[in-house]
Amino acid sequence: MISSNDFRTGLTIEIEGEVYTVVDFQHVKPGKGAAFVRSKLKNVRTGSVIERTFRAGEKVETARIDRREMQYLYSAGDSYTFMDTQTFEQLTLTSEHLGDNLKFIKENMIITVLLYDGNILGIELPNFVDLKIVETTPGVRGDTVSGATKAAKLETGATVQVPLFIEEGDVIRIDTRTGEYLTRA
């Protein structure tokens, strides 16, 4: 159990059988009445964000999330096989578990799998990944408008917007949190 006064960003708690991560919190001490903690909580399973107010000092159950580093091995249809880097156990996940992260995963990549009470909650990718461009339109000489972009297809099948000077075969760095191009790798 943890007090609402001890909230910090990234803390995982359990409320009514659901696991939440504290995204934001604010201690409020009004002129009249008791102090309280206003918080934004993200549901780890669904990704939805809720706002909830707790009385100051209210006890909440902490959730222990097991984080395992795993290496992506291969896919077969709708199932994706990962190997624990410590125990070498293999775990098969579905595209439902991977969600939008699937478009940035390539073979042999190391990811973090989140487990709670033996159940898979989801995965965390590295913040940045380097991927090769397999298809894009060539840049046209004189087409140098500042900030202009074009679509490029990556080796994983995802499509991102890149600057005009990027060509097929280039390896670029992508921010997995936003899905945006950052730089050449």
Q: Are residues 94 and 110 in the same domain?
A: yes
Structural domain total, the chain: 3
Distance CA 82, CA 135 (A): 28
Predicted TM-score (pTM) of the model is 0.70
pLDDT tens-digit readout, 15-50: 988 888 888 999 989 888 889 999 999 888 777 889
pLDDT tens-digit readout, 77-90: 888 899 998 999 99
Q: Are residues 89 and 116 in the same domain?
A: yes
Q: Are residues 95 and 48 in the same domain?
A: no
pLDDT tens-digit readout, 116-147: 887 787 788 888 999 999 998 887 666 566 67
What is the domain range of residue 97?
A: 66-124
Q: Which residues of 79-113 are buried (b: 16+ CB within 10 A; e: fewer)?
A: ebebeeeeeeeebebeeebbeeebbbbeeebebeb
